[in-house]
Structure 1
Amino acid sequence: MKKVWNVAIYTRVSTDKKEQSESIPAQIQSLKKWLIEKSSNDKEQIYKLQQIYKDQGFSGSNFKRESFIKMKKDIENGKINMVLTRDLSRFARNYITAGYYLEDYFKNKGVRFVSVLDNVDTIDEVDDIVPFKNILNEMYIKDCSRRTRDGLKQRMIRGSSIASRPLYGYKFHEVHDENVKIIKLIPREDETTKVVKKIFELYIQGFGMGRIATYLNDKGIAPPSALIKNFSRSKFKLWNNNTIRSILTNPKYAGIMVQGRWRKVSYKINKVRPTPKDQWIIGGEFKGIVSKETFEIVQELIKKRSKGFRHKGGNTHLFSGVLKCNECGGSMSYRGDFKGYKCTNSQMGGGRCIAHSIKEEYLIKKIKEDIKRNIYKLNNKKNFYNLAELKVKKNSDYKRKLKDIDKELQILDSKFQRIYFDNLSGIINERNFKSLITCIENQQQRLISKRKDIENLYLNYNYKEKIYCQYKIQIDKILNFEEIDRFIIESLIDKIIVSENKITKEKNIDVYYKFKEPISIMNPPQHV
């Protein structure tokens, strides 16, 4: 009896681009032709084309392809016992997985695998050359991944955004510098920029991230995902803690082009992991939605509040994180039923501490009086402003030096491309190619390192120059405050120690001031 082969033709292209998508019909046509010729020449076996599977827009290292999975199901159900593909690279570019299918899976399922251009037919023993071709395929995809990554890195260094969509509150603006396209971020001229500013403002006022999200949802403000095409509120939900945190902690909102904060684990694995801060790529400055000073204040508050306490509504209470118990040194947290603060350790039981407590209303009255008394002891406003300048010195060379380095990097990129194509064309041999590439890469590393040093100096200068005005605003607010808020507490007070006279039960409050810059330059921390 003749052997019947139920054939599946499998085709794949890695992108949806027109020129690649048109190669699928070409693959199918050549495989059908092979099948007809095989049927004519092989009278001992019958070939029946059962199904054509087409995967478009999937890389060869990704095995979670829609048609590939469907083909596997058909194999499992006994519908297919022969897989026909043009070459191994259409089937897979991952050596380990390709080897598994060819040398294990297909054998166990009784499936014959044919790769036409590679002359591989598993009806015989798997050819020894197959593993080597698999290795070459994997080397190719690894090399493509590395070159893509290097190209993206150069774009990031030049300050060009590599994101597929602009950040919430921004839009893309294309510029050309020395014939090199650079994608810049500029603030949108709509409500989204106001929303970003409001988020930072509310956080400084003492709102927690959860409460900010609730506030925006109650106002009916659409979340960032609403800017995505085909947005559905039910699908993308609403504002949440994570969305608020991602905005508050992203340096781009302060006009600093920081990229590379997340990195793909490898070219085979789509998972990402955070990149160490010293490996972030800073590609210059642009117009931010909030000031750098505001951004820095928020980062300090996030750090501080992570150690403090919050109630279930997500709001930070006025004295959260600064009140300490004199008896045990523990923190004091807000109790809604008491309308004040109690020692956390005393609430845990076990005799850890006595029940120290203090009413919030009484605390506000006493602290307000104490702050006003101490503020007036400080020097006049003019001295504050002088200190706020922080001895800013202009150095216009920084920007010019950065531009010069960027030009040198562009020249090296062009050299790299020319050498690469010369090698492919056989103009230079492999030995000279490797030598030249190593030389260029060393020059690039030196320039990148030099650029980073100059950039840090430049950013530091710009930061100081711009925060001068911000400091003046904050100083005015501190010196002329009428009511206590979280900004006043967090700007002036390091900690408040609460104690109690064991006989009279009278509350004692000791305030430790810290006076953030520029005030701290004039007055070291003092005990009042």
Structure 2
Amino acid sequence: MPRISKRKKTGPVPLSRRFHVGVYARLSVDGSKDCGQEEALQARKNESINTQVTMAKQYLKEHPEMELYDCYTDLGRTGTNFRREGFERMMQDVRKKCIDCVIVKDLSRFGRNHIEAGNYIQKIFPFMGVRFIALADGIDTFAEKSDADEMALNLKNLLNEMYARDIAEKIKSGKRSRQEQGSYTGGVPPYGYRAEWMDGKKCLLACPETSGIVRDIYGMYLSGKNMGQIAGKLYERGIHRPGIYKKTGHVYRQEGEVLEQWSAATVRLILTNPVYMGCLVQGITCGKQYKIRNRHDVDSGDYSMKWGSHEPLVSEDVFFQVAAMFEKSAAKYGNSAGFSKRTPPKEDIYAGVLFCGDCGKRMARVANAKEFSSGHRVRYYGYYCPSSRRMDDLQCPSRSIGMSVLDGLVKTALHQEFALSDLRPGRLVKEYERQAEEQKEKIRQEIVSCGKQQEYGKKRGSELYLKYHEGSLSLEEFQQMKKEQDRCLCEMAGRKEELQHRLDAMEREIAEKGKFLRNLMKCNEKTKLTKDIIHTLVRRIDVFTGHRVKITFAFCMNELLYADENGKSGKEGVQHE
């Protein structure tokens, strides 16, 4: 049977000092939005922010050696992670040495992730010389503590995390149950509907002001109008788009209001949403689960589909007739960009780097397919500014540019900028790699030096404590020297972290520039442009009216060699027109 140590562990020897306190309070709302945030907060009135702060201030009155520096609060924020505005502001003040004591009502207010919470309480705060107090749990990191105390701290953090996990699962299952009962669990109701609570369920009811507009949209599409034409008709009638209607509550433009054009995407969303034929489809995306913050799509078999839970605005026959027209149009003519199933589109090599020089919007690609008598189809590509097709005040004067014209301008600019025939690119690559490795080695050596100084500092701290314990140093001398030693260790840790970040950034930059040079060596006027070449060599392309193009390259030639002794290099590219 293993032996159990009976020796009592002790924390740092309590010192007579004045603490500058940061009070932290947090309140999350356990419950769904359907119940209303106000009711959820009322149900937890005893856990309010003010109650937590008041309890901490009362504790400070009983401890004159403590002085309040500031209060940090997070309202409606989960405790399962530490990405909270109030908490991050508190940690900034900790790093600035503005506070050296943190007080919370209990551990659950600090956080519900037992690994991260334990890391802060047992590692980060002690390293930074910060005292941590959880009032309701009786935890004070500057008090004497035993093995049982350490175990209790870890157990409480684990229980808090299990509680958060359980609450997340209950919220999810409760939401699924309400969906199966036909209750609307979304936020803003679909355009054409309003949401009201009836018999304990949130129901969708036809909105008298907007439901007729939805029916008109279906009618216009069935009559042969495309989505752009429908958007134009709605603009002519002075109808606000759904986003503006949500903000103002006005269906039609009022005096002094700006009328913005509907987008074709919004019209398409209305024409393809089954809610308008009386089928409530929910649970399409998921993400608000414990420790899952990225929203993701759900398999179609897991959707919640409820028929007859609300009044349809169009019949099923009308909805499926519209769906059939969409399918037929996509198969024959392609989608809004001209891409049909018969002729798949080529890769868009300018995606993400091509912008309208007049309004700054990303340019969209469009294609026109020509079919010859032999049955062979040829696709011609071009780019246009989406805002050029608007009717409202946001209309852009820019028009379009053909892909063949754009390719020619980019190739000419590449040839003029880099003139590779005179640069001996092979030698340039070797020289760049040599200088880059020299800069990396300097940083590595400095990181090693910082590590050695940290080890020496920790050893020095132990020696100071022994001298104080033996009586060689007075309490005042020990406090002063320990404070200075902690400051040096903190600065050294920060410096080491900064150097590591710089080294990581340099590794990424070396990879980018190496790829840049390899692609550059292949480039001439006869080179076929690819997405890899464009995205490596070019940072941004702005297209202006009249086929005037401005190209911003990822690097200019004098940036490809390190001239800064600190290993820094410029990131502003050279521009060509």
State the match for 1:53 in structure 2.
Answer: 72
Structure 2 residue corresponding to 1:282, chosen from 296, 305, 308: 305
Contact conserved, 1:200 with 1:298, CA < 8 A, in 2?
yes
What CA distance in whole angstroms lies between the structure 2 residues aligned with 1:249 and 1:205? 16
What CA distance in whole angstroms lies between the structure 2 residues aligned with 1:117 and 1:247? 53
Q: 1:184, CA displacement in angstroms? A: 2.3
Q: 1:268, CA displacement in angstroms? A: 2.9
Contact conserved, 1:13 with 1:20, CA < 8 A, in 2?
no
Q: 1:168, CA displacement in angstroms? A: 1.1
State the match for 2:211 in structure 1.
Answer: 193
State the match for 1:172 in structure 2.
Answer: 195
What CA distance in whole angstroms lies between the structure 1 residues aligned with 2:179 and 2:156? 35
Q: Which amino acid aligns with 2:282?
A: Q
Contact conserved, 2:133 with 2:140, CA < 8 A, in 1?
yes
Contact conserved, 1:120 with 1:127, CA < 8 A, in 2?
no
Contact conserved, 2:214 with 2:313, CA < 8 A, in 1?
yes
Change (3 A) 1:242 1:131: farther
State the match for 1:101 in structure 2.
Answer: 120
Structure 2 residue corresponding to 1:3, chosen from 6, 17, 20: 17
Contact conserved, 1:309 with 1:333, CA < 8 A, in 2?
no
- Name the TM-score, length of structure 2 as normaliser: 0.49
The 5 A counterparts of 1:360-399 are: none
Q: Which amino acid aligns with 2:44?
A: Q
What CA distance in whole angstroms lies between the structure 1 residues aligned with 2:133 and 2:248? 42
Change (3 A) 1:214 1:95: farther
Q: Which amino acid aligns with 1:330?
A: R
Contact conserved, 1:225 with 1:231, CA < 8 A, in 2?
no
Spell out, residue by residue over 1:446-505, the C-alpha distance to the aligned partner (whole angstroms, 9 max, x if none). Answer: xxxxxxxxxxxxxxxxxxxxxxxxxxxxxxxxxxxxxxxxxxxxxxxxxxxxxxxxxxxx
Q: 1:18, CA displacement in angstroms? A: 3.6
State the match for 2:315 in structure 1.
Answer: 291
What CA distance in whole angstroms lies between the structure 1 residues aligned with 2:87 and 2:152? 24
What CA distance in whole angstroms lies between the structure 1 residues aligned with 2:134 and 2:322? 59
Task: Note if 1:153 corresponds to 2:172.
Answer: no
Runs of at least 5 residues in structure 2 that lack an aligned partner in the other structure: 1-14, 30-37, 340-366, 383-402, 405-577
Please state whether the residue corresponding to 2:184 is helix, strand or coil: coil
Please state whether the residue corresponding to 1:74 is helix, strand or coil: helix
Please state whether the residue corresponding to 1:228 is helix, strand or coil: helix
Please state whether the residue corresponding to 2:158 is helix, strand or coil: helix
Q: Which amino acid aligns with 2:374?
A: E
Structure 1 residue corresponding to 2:56, chosen from 1, 10, 31: 31
Please state whether the residue corresponding to 2:108 is helix, strand or coil: helix
Change (3 A) 1:168 1:136: same
Q: Which amino acid aligns with 2:317?
A: E
Contact conserved, 2:27 with 2:75, CA < 8 A, in 1?
yes
Runs of at least 5 residues in structure 1 that lack an aligned partner in the other structure: 40-45, 315-319, 336-346, 349-528
Provide the identity percentage: 31
Spell out, residue by residue over 1:202-243, the C-alpha distance to the aligned partner (whole angstroms, 9 max, x if none). Answer: 334454445544443454311222343567999997532442
What CA distance in whole angstroms lies between the structure 1 residues aligned with 2:294 and 2:142? 38
Q: 1:170, CA displacement in angstroms? A: 0.8
What CA distance in whole angstroms lies between the structure 2 residues aligned with 1:60 and 1:236? 43
What CA distance in whole angstroms lies between the structure 2 residues aligned with 1:270 and 1:296? 36
Contact conserved, 1:309 with 1:321, CA < 8 A, in 2?
no
State the match for 1:224 in structure 2.
Answer: 242
Spell out, residue by residue over 1:352-399, the C-alpha distance to the aligned partner (whole angstroms, 9 max, x if none). Answer: xxxxxxxxxxxxxxxxxxxxxxxxxxxxxxxxxxxxxxxxxxxxxxxx
Please state whether the residue corresponding to 2:150 is helix, strand or coil: coil
Contact conserved, 1:159 with 1:257, CA < 8 A, in 2?
yes
Q: 1:84, CA displacement in angstroms? A: 0.2
Q: 1:310, CA displacement in angstroms? A: 6.1
Task: Note if 1:120 corresponds to 2:139.
Answer: yes
Change (3 A) 1:118 1:321: same
Change (3 A) 1:3 1:250: same
What CA distance in whole angstroms lies between the structure 2 residues aligned with 1:334 and 1:56? 51
State the match for 1:330 in structure 2.
Answer: 377
State the match for 1:139 in structure 2.
Answer: 162
Change (3 A) 1:312 1:332: closer
Q: 1:327, CA displacement in angstroms? A: 1.6
Contact conserved, 1:225 with 1:236, CA < 8 A, in 2?
no
Contact conserved, 1:8 with 1:49, CA < 8 A, in 2?
yes
What CA distance in whole angstroms lies between the structure 2 residues aligned with 1:65 and 1:237? 36
Q: 1:154, CA displacement in angstroms? A: 1.4
Q: 1:332, CA displacement in angstroms? A: 7.8
Change (3 A) 1:209 1:139: farther
Q: 1:8, CA displacement in angstroms? A: 0.8
